[in-house]
Structure 1
Amino acid sequence: MSQYKTREKLEKRDADTTIHRQSGSSVKSKSGSEERREKEALLTSSSLKRHVREKKSITPPTPSTSTFSPPTFRKPPIEPFLHSELRPFVLSTHCDALFTSLRGLKEQGLLLDCSLKLLNDSHKAHRLVLAAVSQKAEVWLLSGEAGLRELELDGGRMTPAGLKAVLDFSYSGEVDRGETDEVLEACKELEAQRLEQLCAGDVPLSGSRERERSLQVIRTLWERNVGCDVILQTDSGDCFPAHRVILAAGADYFRALFCGGLRESGEDVVFLRSVASWVLHHLLDFIYSGQLKLSCRNVWDLTEACSQFQLEGALTLCINFLQDNMDKTSCLDVLALAEAFSLVDLGNRAEDYFLTHFQRVAEGEKFRDLPCDHLMRLLEKDKLNAESELDVFRAVVNWIEEDNEQRSTHLSQLMQSVRFPLMSPEELQEVQNCKLLVRSSEGKTALRVVNNLLHGNRRTSDCKPRTPNQVLVLVGGDCVNENFERREPNLCLWFAHRFMHGEGLIRTIEWRPMASLQEPPRFRHCVCVLNNTLYILGGRKYYGALDILKTALRFDPVQGRWERLPDMSSPRDYFAAVCHRGKVFVLGGNCDDVYCLDSVECYSPDDNTWRLAHPLDVPLCGHAVAVLNGEMFVSGGCDSRLCCYPCLWVYDPVHGCSKRSPMTVGEGRAGHVMLVTGHRLVVAGGLQPVCAGFRDQLQCESYDPVHDSWASFPPLPRPHLSPAAAALDGQLYVLGGSSADSARDTAWVHHYDPQAKCWDKLGAMPRPYADLAACALQLPVSLKS
């Protein structure tokens, strides 16, 4: 049974435990068969099908000889898991956090049960904390007296400074050795032997180490049932003695319970509903040690309990365990668990795992238990990784056929999440022949879309490619021929099939041809991608002033088909282009090797027409453009007088340009690229003006549109003038170009990894192309294989 099938049960469980007075409540225990069925239901909520092969008894702490008398134990709690399956996980920060919380309770005057009087001054503390360093305090604890106990200290031997040092050491593990004599006297009076040895010796004092030793003492007192002042009782009648102050310091739930002024804060017995005895035993063990024993079978119930009792440290260990052990079988259960208990980060990790390993997960049984709204939300994600969109379609069909009678009504809605324009004609033919669609009225809309695509109408709907399935594609450019005789344009479209790591720092890229560029060849052109269709615009076919192009092409990688588009109104090279709101924009550029353009044109795929938009503020070439948060940003470039600009504009097709804060590196930048990473823009490469002309610009910078400010960014390791650039899988790529300083072309490909925060060389292009363009496309499986 999957977590999704038990989600209704999880949501109905109380988020808070119910507390009853022991004297006034009548608890009816479950029969053995009822309890066994409940445990079996909880076990089947995990991601693994398991059998209880052995049961391990957990003996509760032995009652002490104190006056505090817990009720008779009904039975020892049974843990339905093999001991050999459990692995201990330690939260290294637990001890420090616990004592920080204990100090906070002391400072706020909460749960204090000891008042030490010295020379008419009263110093309040927690007997349990003091007993961790003082044998005399342990005797006070053993007396079992409830409430605040007042103790008179010998003012003839002990000083206030010495007493304060012992108290500070009890709560922090640290002591000021400046007043050693007074501290030693206080240690003798309170029988604090450990602190006395530390003060008398020359061993360096470690506060963290001493706090751990104090916690070990407190745990020993708990195991001996010394000073326990509350009983936690479960549904099955099992009872667990504990210390209020440790519970309050260890879990927010208990802090609110015991320190919030509630009636139950003074009760001897607290009844906890809907928590198994073995679960409570593990939680208490964690609070007193910072260690939690986990397995792939018990982590589900412990995660629920940690969330319920707001035990953040133990919850962190459970979440880390679930993340580290996530697989194709458990990821959907983890997602259900995370959503049921509002564990946002865990839910994101489970969702990312599902999207990354979609095809493997979709083959499992848990996938068929997904609720429709969850399935639709996941299928709509751009990050969903599938070899082909046909695999997404097949997964939807399998999900529907699991319960055709109930789920067929969702068919039309789910088919809207399948991106049919990404399919090849052969794949579309399989969809068209699908019996589920043919026989159902809910499938008519999908069949109509498929039929239009098969008849060449690929503009029936917007369709973004799935991001993980995209590849890096090189388009055009030119380079020196193999005989070093002349420059020749590139007529091949290449895609990066694999990025490979060799020995040491050696890295290479396996490039494969994708298609041949239709005549004429192009360099200094632009490309952009709209609905996984490649647009190739302008540029030049050779090196004369009359060789600048105004033609435009469109390439469908799924169909492998080229289409000639209407010409732009002006020839352009060294311009910028971008797709925005379903249209293609071209901005500025050089038109005749003399004058730059300020004109902007917009192409609409719906009516296959170019239209003029509002011009730029100044004629520009060598500038860059990118879309961020729905706005078009234009950076740098130079004018007809070769004056280089540091400016940044926001361009609107109706209202034109509005200035933003200029770039801060250099006096201007041109021949560069601008890419989007997260919520920022990054400008990289190009050249900058200097006194004697121009030089390479290696420095990069990033722009924050919210604060309208620029920040430094790691520099490029090599020059890239007029390179290609693309963003793929959250990483930035800069490819080829040339050097203003050496006038040499470069074949290198650099990428920026946001996690490593540096540029890395991945290898080389097929040739050292300059004035090229690049993009990210989703290719059909047949082409990639």
Structure 2
Amino acid sequence: MELARQQLPIGWEERWRRDKERRKRVIEEGGEKVKEENRRLRWIKAYNDNRMGVKHSVWQECTHKFGLPEEDGGRVERKEEKGCEEGKRTYHSATYTKQVFQTLEDFRHASLLTDLTLSTQDGHHLCAHSPVLAAVSSIIYSKLLEQEQEQEQDGHGGRKTRINLGPEVSHLGLAAVLDFAYTGAITNLTRDTAAQVRAAAQALEAPRVLELCDGMERTDKGGHGDKDKEEERKKRLSPPEQLETSLQAIKQLWIERVGCDVVLEAQEREFTAHRVLLAASSDYFRGMFTSGMRESQERSITVPCLGDEELEVFLHCSYSASLDLTWDQVFDLVCSALQFQIQPALSLCLDFLKQEMDADSCLDVASFAEAYGMRDLLELADDYVLRHFQEVSVTPKFQDLSAEKLLEYLCCDGLCAPSELTVFRAVVIWLEANLPGRLPQATRLMKSVRFPLMTFREFCEVRAINLCMECSANGEVELYGMAFKDFGISNSEEHFRVRRPKDALVLIGGDQLNPDTGLRIPSRQLWFANALRSRVGLVKDIEWRMLGELPDQARFRHGVAIMAGKLYVVGGCYFYAKTDTMKSGFSYDPLQNTWQKIADMHEPRSNFTVVVRGNGLYAIGGDKDINTNLDSVEVFCPESNSWSFTRPLDQALSGHAAVVWKGEIFISGGLNCEYKCLVSMLLYHPEKGTVHLSDMAHDRALHCMESLGGRFYVAGGVCNFRKFYTDHLGCEVYDPVEDSWCTIAPLPIPHVGAASAILEEKLYVLGGYCQEDYSESRLVHRYDPTTGRWLSVGKMAGPNTDIRACVLRLPEQLRK
């Protein structure tokens, strides 16, 4: 146990104890209503525990108090009153299953915690873990059931089992079954070895292994073409899916208390479990069970400093890779997961803290991360405070900040605020929370407010706030004398607030309008926004830098997407003739700063969309030439470097917009085969086809659509308001859950054929042109969902019409 604790942060025990006591006091001070609700939840949990075979003395109370069923009718669902568990989220680890089975396989090779020996008549012996093999073998499952019955009779458990197999089972076949149990695949399954693998699978009654053998034999039969083999392959579960099935089977063993060889005691409750799975998911239990400690031989173990509810949560996570989390419990769970080094639970809790962070919780997260030495989490929390400073500054927790922490935020160049007046107001709020005690801090805090960035009208508000009315006149003169002095300083570089987002906004290709088509020069350039600057008042600008050039011809009306950290650029036009539409594509690796050509699409496309779904790149619709648009959809596979057609749209489209949300492709507006603007919102599935959803309020094409916070923001473009195309300034938001639209603030100027991207939870619309007079829109506008307003944040760099944008993580050497 001491070895397991050495990796924990210094001082964690005392901090954990204090945090535990503090949260306990909060609950106790919450009144009888909170206490009663907590008791109710514990009763419901206790009943569910009894259904899983966990002993508890109070579970019968819930049958009388809440009318829960007394018979075995399945697990009771937790159905609290509305608002009781507001903010509850279920988090699932996509990598845990692979990691835990890899650890289990390592245990097997090292003969750690193996309790099952399988012997063949040719003298070979293979060791394994009975829960892992029972997940694929009915014979092993039956053996574990028999042992469970014997244990109940004689009180002994934790025995090692030896099974001698018949002459039909070879060492090769047995090894293949074990390989499948731990990896979800059989590496040596061929036509020559299939018979031996089948014999072992039949002897152990392993149906999923037999299915693999049957599938291989079906594909090897004569007369089957490549299409039949591909269909057969799709029917089989992949190795990751096989492992997920095995983990679910092991979880069922745990629920049924089959093969459990250890009892964990926490407070007044007992939980049965499998030692090997605990060791695979927790360094604490691994040290306990494999280092020769006394607990490695005992069946019943008391777990110190861990609540029964927390232990239940951790066990559920170890068997399912899932956690139901709320803000009320997550900090306690992180503390305990750190103490007992339960990595899957810790990872999910940290994911919750990162993804569910908001203005009300970010300061708690920052304080927690600082106390426990979690640098990455602290950096994320601090960055959230800087990006949402205005919203955070009006929360009650902001008033509890220390002067040093507030000063750290105020002095940071990366602080984002509509204007410096917002920063000043935040300082006033903090001071007024305890004016007599905090007024001595006013001078140094006010020095961090950049008064030269205020307009004269804003500074008038500053002067109207008199913090020193209750204090001496000298204090007032000192405070505002310093403010007036700073306000009079010229607007120099050192007074800018310059934010450098971690991700860079990248512009690719594009065109510049010219009445003389022959003088137009499409672009090969790539630009990126290295920094966002705040000047006086609401004046903003962007520091653009050149990233490089496309390796092939210049292009506009093309498609771009980010997949696996790489930028993909495909299709588009290199000029305005009928045959100038391209089907070529390239990928850019920012880590290597290199371009690589990818396979050509089957059809040339411009004015189309490219989205990433799963591991594929989807090119949807577009113009084939000047007068013909497409209904076809192609998908690019990076592993095979090939494009293939998938199910087409139900009509030809170009000039549309598309986003991917929860693995589904949504397509809005566009031009049909008659080049009329559409009002449609479509849900497109590569296999099932197209489903029509609620229409937009207005028809729209050559517009932008981006997904932000589970909603789709649609802006810019043209419409058929009259017989000819007209600028569309109106903006709409689509809710995919409710299948409904609502309007938001309109764009200040037209943006037709513009680029768009989401950067730091804000929508950027870049460039484009005005359909009315065919002039270029050289401005960049940003929409903030929290304020509901559009703000001009700077001008474009280089070309700005029919351009595309993305957000890409660039290495630091490219940004210097």
- Normalising by structure 1, we get a TM-score of 0.53
Equivalent in the alignment of 2:180? 169
For structure 2, which runs of at least 5 residues remain unmatched after alignment? 1-8, 63-75, 219-231, 502-511, 517-530, 553-585, 598-605, 607-750, 783-788, 794-816
Alignment of 1:495-644 (within 5 A): none
- Normalising by structure 2, we get a TM-score of 0.51
Distance 2:287 2:403 in 1: 39
Q: Secondary structure at the match of 1:288?
A: helix
- Give the AA of the match of 1:233: E
The correspondence for 1:227, drawn from 256, 259, 272, is 259
* Contact 2:781–2:792 under 8 Å retained in 1: no
* Contact 2:753–2:769 under 8 Å retained in 1: yes
Alignment of 1:40-59 (within 5 A): 41=26, 52=37, 54-55=40-41, 56-59=44-47
Alignment of 1:70-89 (within 5 A): 73=56, 83=80, 85=85, 86=88, 88-89=90-91
Note closer, same or farther for the CA distance 1:162–1:329 as it changes in structure 2 (3 Å cut).
same
Note closer, same or farther for the CA distance 1:87–1:451 as it changes in structure 2 (3 Å cut).
closer
The structure with the largest alpha-carbon Rg is 1
- Give the AA of the match of 1:220: Q
Q: Kindly provide the CA deviation profile for residues 383-404 of structure 1, in whole angstroms up to 9, marking residues without a partner as x.
A: 3232332221222122122223
Equivalent in the alignment of 1:246? 277
- Give the AA of the match of 1:170: A
Distance 1:64 1:701 in 2: 52
Q: Secondary structure at the match of 1:334?
A: helix
Note closer, same or farther for the CA distance 1:152–1:222 as it changes in structure 2 (3 Å cut).
closer
Distance 2:369 2:407 in 1: 18
* Contact 2:108–2:114 under 8 Å retained in 1: yes
* Contact 1:232–1:272 under 8 Å retained in 2: yes
Equivalent in the alignment of 2:118? 116
Q: Kindly provide the CA deviation profile for residues 603-634 of structure 1, in whole angstroms up to 9, marking residues without a partner as x.
A: xxxxxxxxxxxxxxxxxxxxxxx999xxxxxx
The correspondence for 1:451, drawn from 474, 484, 504, is 484
Note closer, same or farther for the CA distance 1:12–1:80 as it changes in structure 2 (3 Å cut).
farther
Q: Kindly provide the CA deviation profile for residues 632-691 of structure 1, in whole angstroms up to 9, marking residues without a partner as x.
A: xxx9xxxxxxxxxxxx9xxxxxxxxxxxxx99989xxxxxxxxxxxxxxxxxxxxxxxxx
* Contact 2:446–2:483 under 8 Å retained in 1: no
Equivalent in the alignment of 2:104? 102
Equivalent in the alignment of 2:421? 390
* Contact 1:751–1:760 under 8 Å retained in 2: yes
Equivalent in the alignment of 1:184? 198
Instruction: Compare relative contact order (CA 8 Å, sep 6+) and give the higher one, 1 or 2.
Output: 1
* Contact 2:453–2:491 under 8 Å retained in 1: no
* Contact 2:415–2:497 under 8 Å retained in 1: no
Note closer, same or farther for the CA distance 1:230–1:457 as it changes in structure 2 (3 Å cut).
same
The correspondence for 2:433, drawn from 389, 399, 402, is 402
The correspondence for 1:90, drawn from 60, 67, 92, is 92
* Contact 2:414–2:497 under 8 Å retained in 1: no
- Give the AA of the match of 1:14: E
Q: Secondary structure at the match of 2:497?
A: coil
What is the aligned-residue RMSD (CA, Å)?
Answer: 5.8
Note closer, same or farther for the CA distance 1:129–1:711 as it changes in structure 2 (3 Å cut).
closer
Distance 1:443 1:50 in 2: 49
Q: CA deviation at 1:220?
A: 1.8
Q: Kindly indicate whether residue 13 of structure 2 is the aligned counterpart of residue 14 of structure 1.
A: yes
- Give the AA of the match of 2:93: L
Distance 2:290 2:272 in 1: 18
Alignment of 1:352-501 (within 5 A): 352-432=383-463, 434-437=465-468, 439=471, 446-453=479-486, 456-458=488-490, 462-465=494-497, 467=499
Q: CA deviation at 1:153?
A: 1.3
Q: Secondary structure at the match of 1:58?
A: helix
Q: How many residues align?
A: 515
Distance 1:407 1:80 in 2: 50
* Contact 2:766–2:781 under 8 Å retained in 1: no
Q: Secondary structure at the match of 2:263?
A: strand
* Contact 1:222–1:243 under 8 Å retained in 2: yes
For structure 1, which runs of at least 5 residues remain unmatched after alignment? 1-9, 19-34, 470-478, 485-528, 534-556, 561-625, 629-634, 636-647, 649-661, 667-699, 718-746
Alignment of 1:625-664 (within 5 A): none
Q: CA deviation at 1:12?
A: 6.5
Q: Kindly indicate whether residue 286 of structure 2 is the aligned counterpart of residue 275 of structure 1.
A: no
Q: CA deviation at 1:287?
A: 1.2
* Contact 1:286–1:314 under 8 Å retained in 2: yes
* Contact 2:499–2:532 under 8 Å retained in 1: no
Equivalent in the alignment of 1:602? none
Q: Kindly indicate whether residue 203 of structure 2 is the aligned counterpart of residue 215 of structure 1.
A: no
Note closer, same or farther for the CA distance 1:83–1:332 as it changes in structure 2 (3 Å cut).
same
Distance 1:152 1:388 in 2: 75
Q: CA deviation at 1:276?
A: 2.6
**Larger helix percent:** 2
Equivalent in the alignment of 1:763? 769
Note closer, same or farther for the CA distance 1:347–1:161 as it changes in structure 2 (3 Å cut).
same
Note closer, same or farther for the CA distance 1:374–1:233 as it changes in structure 2 (3 Å cut).
farther
Q: CA deviation at 1:147?
A: 6.3
* Contact 1:230–1:242 under 8 Å retained in 2: yes
Note closer, same or farther for the CA distance 1:205–1:387 as it changes in structure 2 (3 Å cut).
closer
Equivalent in the alignment of 1:334? 365
Note closer, same or farther for the CA distance 1:310–1:763 as it changes in structure 2 (3 Å cut).
farther
Equivalent in the alignment of 1:135? 138
Q: Secondary structure at the match of 2:445?
A: helix
Alignment of 1:308-319 (within 5 A): 308-319=339-350
Q: CA deviation at 1:181?
A: 3.0
Equivalent in the alignment of 1:623? none
Equivalent in the alignment of 1:5? none
